[in-house]
Amino acid sequence: MHRLAQLGAAAVLALLPTAGFAGASGLYDPDIRHMPKDGVVRVFGPGGPHSAFIKAARAFQEKSGVEVEVVFGPESKWTNDAQASADMIFGSSEQSMTAFLETYRFVDSRDVEPLFIRRSVIVVPKGNPRAISGFDDLLQPGMRIVVTEGKGVYNTSGTGVWEDIAGRLGALEDVKNLRANIVAFEKGSGASFRAFKSRNADAWLTWVHWPLDHAEVADYVELEPERRIHRVTNAVVSPDADPGTQDFLAFLKSPEGVALFASEGWVR
């Protein structure tokens, strides 16, 4: 206590734990009662993995007769409903799920299951007009690159990915040169996709499922193996979930579920 008194108010604040995504945005609401059992398997998570989850939900529902609803997008849009009725939460990376656990306190970190993993790629406009063939092309002067960042306030799997790719070989100049060509640091993949289309970008560093889902406007170039980053989609089931939730989770890992996710670049 004597040391804290000597530090002064500003320094004391610096020593205190800082809030994560959920704490900073105030998403957790202790007044919401978690009561998911309503006969519908309700699945919540971010954009990106959602399209594969929707494919799997439709196939599972047709096969089992169990209704599955997948709600996705920015967390702020679905958080209250998820706190009240989520049977399952899915994430777009381990770090994004860790942030979710700050808000959805009815689930436990020990119950989170990594399900699939996907690779980073260079997304380019349809036809690849700049003839980009690999990462080194992104370092050339005048290239216009979009990247995804959480900026300390937004939960996205893209946080830090561009730096991981650029710094993969331990060359500071690669990070400097890529950074000089970044024209947009966007909060979330959806915002990044819009910036990629609207800002005459030459490339967007992101995950392979984005160009696969939007093949009408985008192609992709593989990153060199030594540059490639992988992150997962994972899921956690509420202990109070509707009975069909565990069956849906099992379906995701079945050969049929694996094939549906593989169609969007996710592998086990």
**What would the pLDDT profile of 181-191 be if each residue is shown by its tens digit?**
999 999 999 99
State residue 10's pLDDT score.
35
- Predicted confidence (pLDDT) at residue 201 exceeds the cutoff of 60: yes
The predicted-structure confidence for 214-245, as pLDDT tens digits, reads as follows 999 999 999 999 999 999 999 999 999 999 99
- Label residue 1 by pLDDT band (50, 70, 90): very low
**Has residue 11 got a pLDDT over 90?**
no
Residue 88: is its pLDDT beyond 60? Answer: yes
Please report the pLDDT score of residue 134 as a whole number: 98
pLDDT at 26: 80
Distance in angstroms (rounded) separating the CA atoms of residues 259 and 161: 26
CB hemisphere CA count around 103 (13 angstroms): 28
Q: In the numeric block, which tokens belong to residue 119?
A: 């690779």
Q: What is the pLDDT of residue 6?
A: 40
What share of the chain has pLDDT > 70, as a percent? 91
Pairwise CA distance, residues 244 & 57, whole Å: 12
Can you tell me whether residue 90 is helix, strand or coil?
strand
Per-residue model confidence (pLDDT) at position 262? 98
Other beta carbons within 10 Å of 102: 17
Residue 21 pLDDT class (50, 70, 90 cuts)? very low
pLDDT tens by residue, 39-78: 999 999 999 999 999 999 999 999 999 999 999 999 999 9
Rounded Cα–Cα distance for residues 45 and 264 (Å): 17
For 120-129, the pLDDT digits (tens) are: 999 999 999 9
pLDDT for 4 equals 35
The chain-wide mean pLDDT, for the chain, equals 91
Q: What is the structure's pLDDT at 20? A: 37
Average pLDDT over residues 29-44: 97
| More confident site: 11 or 156 | 156
pLDDT of residue 102: 95
Q: Does the pLDDT at position 202 exceed 50?
A: yes
- What is the average per-residue pLDDT within 112-136? 98
Q: Give which of 93, 134, 141, 144 is closest to 116, Cα–Cα.
A: 93
Residue 152: per-residue pLDDT: 87
